[in-house]
């Protein structure tokens, strides 16, 4: 069966402003979640990043603790907006 030369089936759908906005925002949030998962294994020390003295506290018998966080905590709040 020969193919007709008409508009692509998705073309009328993507002309709607609401659908375009949904696709763009969906792509942004999915990309953000993937990036957060990839960089989430990296660690940083909060005190050093803020230029403060290193916190040195004891918790449940563990001494010399400070605030070491995963880099993934930075982009994740954007995913949950």
Does 32 reside within a domain? yes
Does 25 reside within a domain? yes
3-state DSSP of 30-81: HHHHHHHHHHCCCEEEHHHHHCCCCCCEEECCEEEECCEEEHHHCCHHHHCC
C-alpha 67 chain-centroid distance:
21
Range of the domain at 20: 14-79
Does 62 reside within a domain? yes
**What does the pLDDT read at residue 51?**
78
Does 2 reside within a domain? no
Cβ proximity of 32 and 79 under 8 Å: yes
**What does the pLDDT read at residue 27?**
92
Domain count for the chain: 1
Coil vs helix vs strand at 14: helix
Does 33 reside within a domain? yes
The tens digit of pLDDT for each residue in 5-54 reads 766 776 777 778 888 899 999 998 888 888 877 877 777 777 777 777 77
Does 7 reside within a domain? no
Does 9 reside within a domain? no
The tens digit of pLDDT for each residue in 61-80 reads 878 877 777 777 777 676 66
**What does the pLDDT read at residue 3?**
63
Does 46 reside within a domain? yes
Statement: the pTM of the whole predicted model exceeds 0.75: no
């Amino acid at each position: 069966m020969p193919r007709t030369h008409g508009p692509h089936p998705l073309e009328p759908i993507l002309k709607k402003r609401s659908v375009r906005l949904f696709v763009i925002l969906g792509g942004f949030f999915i990309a953000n979640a993937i990036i957060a998962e990839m960089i989430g294994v990296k660690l940083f020390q909060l005190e050093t990043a803020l230029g403060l003295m290193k916190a040195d506290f004891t918790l449940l018998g563990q001494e010399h603790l400070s605030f070491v966080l995963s880099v993934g905590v930075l982009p994740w709040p954007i995913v949950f907006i």
